[in-house]
Amino acid sequence: MNAPFKSEWDDQAARATSWRIEKPELRRATTVAGFFPDQNGGVYEQLLTQLPVMLHCMDGSGRLLAVNNTWCEALGYEPHDVVGRAFSELLPKESRSRLVTEIYPKYLVTGTCKSEEILLIRKDGALATVLLSMTAYRGDKGRLERSVCTLEDITKQKLASIASQRSDQRFRSAFSAAVNGMAVVSPTGHVEVANEALKAFLGRPGIEADPLGFEDFLHKDDRGQFLNGMRQLLTGEAPSLQMELRYITPDNKVVHGATSVALVKNEKGETEQLIVQLVDTTERKTVNQRLQKAQKMEAIGQLTGGIAHDFNNLLTIVIGNLQLLDGKLAGDEKAQKRLAESIEAASKGSDLTKQLLAFARKQDLAPQDSEVNSLVRGMEGLVKRAVGENISVHFEMMEGAPHSLIDPSQLESAILNLAINARDAMPDGGRLTIETQGAFLDRYYAEKNPEVVPGHYVMIAVSDSGTGMSQELLEQVFQPFFTTKGNGKGSGLGLSMVYGFIKQSGGHISIYSEVGHGTSVKMYLPRRMKAGDSTAHVSDVPVPGIVHVTEAEPVPTASAARRPKILVVEDQEAVRMVACGFLEDFGYEVVEAGDGFEALSKLQEHDDIDLMFSDVVMPGGMNGFDLAQAAQSLKPSLKIVHTSGYPKGAMVHQDEPRFREGFIIMKPYRREDLQKIIKDALERQ
């Protein structure tokens, strides 16, 4: 308390002693008189004692003169416990300090105090939150002689408010940290509040300031479905809204979200807000599509196998009866000639059923423990003769002697079949590469290809530099009777037979193609590990000029102040999502681009990009090497890592000197391989 106010309280204290009652046994009977010590005291005594408001009276020094019954009952004291004590003694330290330094100084000047929140110590030691109001009564000379005070106990309300604040804070924390996207949306569609997960999902960090309505973030083909569902929800026709929707990010990327909407209504039943929840199902959608494709192929295989089985039975009857007739037509040359032609045609039908059974994985195999390199290398002469002189043939074998339990004759047939397909895709000549590599298909790859069993494989790739195929054609190439050749130039069973053989052997097959750049068919056969086999480089066979990666290491930092930023350039959205997902998991900041021209634009928008991870073959006339050259002219310090769906043998001898100068990793790549090569590239000076 400052000096002037303190002296006034001291002066008043001396005069106030006449109002203090020294005998405890008399205090209860005369407490009310402390409020009004004149003739009015008796008149108001009963009223003030019974008044359902907490009242007390203080003298000029701030000591309690009187308290009423409500005051005592609320705080648990008897009058003799408190009368004569300074009111400030009943307050805990913080409230006492505030009373003396803030509330009293203002009160001495104004003579009033209204609803100041303080804490009081009850007799049992518990704290009560009260609102203190005071009115001053001054003497003839204007000095403060009495203070009549009221207290309003708001402890319950305060506790409820604290609980509500804590609950609100917990809700806000949970809302903000939720893994799934959440937003509070106005009835007009404006996003009022959104958590980080939703902002990241939609690619809109400033979504609250976005003038667009929520429905504008949807794919145009899904808006009608959403708005119709909202109409039913708002009119009460539907109790809730749950649907799978597609959303468009600012860079035109399509993402899938399981969307649910709930209404928040006021006491009048009017909708005040909408609570929207989004679960990112993009990856699950991709996996489901692949699973459906695998199931479709399985169903076609079962159907094909059943037809082939029944057709074989019919052919057995036909050929058998024709052969029985053969002995009874002796001397009739014309009839015997027709009979021979019929038997030959039926036999060709039998060959057709064998091809169908191969696709259905029901052919008779004779698996042997085969050394793959020597088996493949032994086909060099046959393949060269089959494809002709205008196609250069190259064989690239991995180190060592990899083994697999397979039917060698069927593998040879598969390679020859793929070589002939490659020849047909290069009518003007070209390059055919057949190579083997060690590979490890990990659980991440298996999650996206449900039929794959994680483990070690020997990959045999047959790659050409031909016309290539579009994504639509790639979706159908393994189906029986599908062909891209003209009428009468193919049965459409070649690739389906290869597919069936690989699947029946416990392997995996994939095809990678770029229109105008060629096709690569990769056959993965389960590898039988032998004593002395090394698996250290199973996914990257050493090739000059290429960095090989094997182990995952901690993520480096571009500087102590920020995370490295990586530009991912990939035209196939599903592949780009996988790469971005890996890199974000590694702790990097990611920027995306769908082609070379968009990548150059992103480089100019983000001057802090440290590394570009780019596909080699992309649409638009700019390949990965051209892009790297242009990008480094904009930013000489930019690090580059390339990736390609073509195997190494199909690329390493291409006339591309820039290929040998940098980092490259082949698809499909392992998670830890990608992590290691990115780290190595960032650290290279």
pLDDT of residue 346: 64
C-alpha 21/C-alpha 15 separation (Å) is 14
SS3 at position 180? coil
Tell me, what amino acid is at 276?
V
Confidence of residue 307 (pLDDT cuts 50, 70, 90): low
Tokens coding 24: 């405890």
Report how far apart, in Å, the C-alpha atoms of 419 and of each of 386, 578, 649 are: 8, 31, 15
Tokens coding 35: 């409020």
pLDDT of residue 132: 92
List the helix and strand counts (H, then E) for the chain: 22, 22
SS3 at position 543? coil
Q: Would the pLDDT of 567 be above 90?
A: yes
pLDDT greater at residue 26 or residue 384:
384
For 117-154, how does the pLDDT look when each residue is reduced to its tens digit (9 = 90+)? 889 998 988 888 889 999 988 887 778 888 889 998 88
For 193-240, how does the pLDDT look when each residue is reduced to its tens digit (9 = 90+)? 888 888 888 888 888 888 888 888 888 888 888 888 888 888 877 777
Average pLDDT over residues 643-651: 71
Average pLDDT over residues 620-633: 82
pLDDT of residue 565: 92
According to DSSP, the residues that pair with 565 across neighbouring strands are: 589
Could you tell me where the DSSP H helices lie in 617-670? 624-634
How many other CB atoms sit within 10 Å of the CB of residue 628?
A: 23
Chain centre to alpha carbon of residue 674: 19
Q: Of the given ranges (271-275, 371-375, 532-536, 564-568), which has the lowest mean pLDDT? A: 532-536
C-alpha 349/C-alpha 356 separation (Å) is 11
Q: With contact defined as beta carbons under 8 Å apart, do 262 and 274 qualify?
A: yes
Average pLDDT over residues 593-609: 88
For 399-455, how does the pLDDT look when each residue is reduced to its tens digit (9 = 90+)? 888 998 888 877 887 888 788 888 888 888 888 999 998 888 888 777 777 778 888
Give the pairing type, strands 391-396 and 508-514: unpaired
Q: Would the pLDDT of 305 be above 70?
A: no
C-alpha 247/C-alpha 245 separation (Å) is 7
pLDDT of residue 239: 76
pLDDT of residue 611: 92
Q: Exposed, middle or buried, 519 (CB in 10 Å: 0-12/13-18/19+)? A: buried
Q: Of the given ranges (27-36, 109-118, 208-217), which has the lowest mean pLDDT? A: 27-36
Residue with tokens 């790549």: 669
Q: Of the given ranges (4-8, 273-277, 547-551), which has the lowest mean pLDDT? A: 547-551
DSSP string computed for 300-349: HHHHHHHHHHHHHHHHHHHHHHHHHHHTT-TT-HHHHHHHHHHHHHHHHH
Positive or negative torsion for Cα 642, 645, 651, 654: negative
pLDDT of residue 312: 57
pLDDT of residue 21: 33
Q: Of the given ranges (232-246, 328-342, 458-472), which has the lowest mean pLDDT? A: 328-342
Report how far apart, in Å, the C-alpha atoms of 445 and of each of 65, 451, 455, 541 are: 84, 10, 11, 19
Could you tell me where the DSSP H helices lie in 327-434? 333-359, 372-377, 380-387, 408-424
Helical pair 282-326 and 573-585, crossing angle rounded to 10 deg: 130
Q: What is the mean pLDDT of the chain?
A: 75
Average pLDDT over residues 601-607: 87
Q: Would the pLDDT of 566 be above 90?
A: yes
SS3 at position 650? helix
CA-nearest of 82, 94, 166, 102 to 129 is 94
Residues in the chain: 685
Could you tell me where the DSSP H helices lie in 486-550? 494-504
Confidence of residue 299 (pLDDT cuts 50, 70, 90): low
Phi, psi of 552 (to 5 degrees): -85, 140
pLDDT of residue 627: 86
**Strands lying side by side in the sheet with 271-280:** 191-194, 181-185, 271-280, 254-265, 241-248
Tokens coding 461: 């790739």
Tokens coding 14: 């001396």
C-alpha 33/C-alpha 19 separation (Å) is 9
Report how far apart, in Å, the C-alpha atoms of 30 and of each of 52, 367, 634 are: 19, 112, 93
pLDDT of residue 550: 36
Q: Would the pLDDT of 548 be above 90?
A: no
Instruction: For residue 552, give the DSSP letter.
Output: -
Q: Exposed, middle or buried, 528 (CB in 10 Å: 0-12/13-18/19+)? A: middle
Could you tell me where the DSSP H helices lie in 142-189? 155-177
pLDDT of residue 616: 84
pLDDT of residue 228: 85
CA-nearest of 199, 196, 205, 191 to 261 is 191
Average pLDDT over residues 24-46: 46
Q: Would the pLDDT of 664 be above 60?
A: yes
How many other CB atoms sit within 10 Å of the CB of residue 654?
A: 13
pLDDT greater at residue 648 or residue 507:
507
For 485-537, how does the pLDDT look when each residue is reduced to its tens digit (9 = 90+)? 554 444 445 577 777 778 777 888 888 888 888 888 898 998 988 766 655 44
* Residues in CB range of 190: below 8 A, 6 or more apart: 213, 214
Residue with tokens 């204007």: 142
pLDDT of residue 313: 59
Phi, psi of 526 (to 5 degrees): -55, 130
Average pLDDT over residues 598-625: 85
Confidence of residue 340 (pLDDT cuts 50, 70, 90): confident
CA-nearest of 393, 376, 495, 501 to 436 is 376
Confidence of residue 32 (pLDDT cuts 50, 70, 90): very low
Confidence of residue 543 (pLDDT cuts 50, 70, 90): very low
pLDDT of residue 3: 43
pLDDT of residue 531: 65
Average pLDDT over residues 96-106: 88
pLDDT of residue 524: 92
Average pLDDT over residues 660-679: 80
pLDDT of residue 427: 86
C-alpha 423/C-alpha 518 separation (Å) is 11
pLDDT of residue 588: 92
Q: Would the pLDDT of 457 be above 70?
A: yes
Is the pTM above the cut of 0.85? no
Confidence of residue 666 (pLDDT cuts 50, 70, 90): confident
CA-nearest of 521, 507, 338 to 425 is 521
CA-nearest of 511, 494, 428, 426 to 464 is 426
pLDDT of residue 23: 35
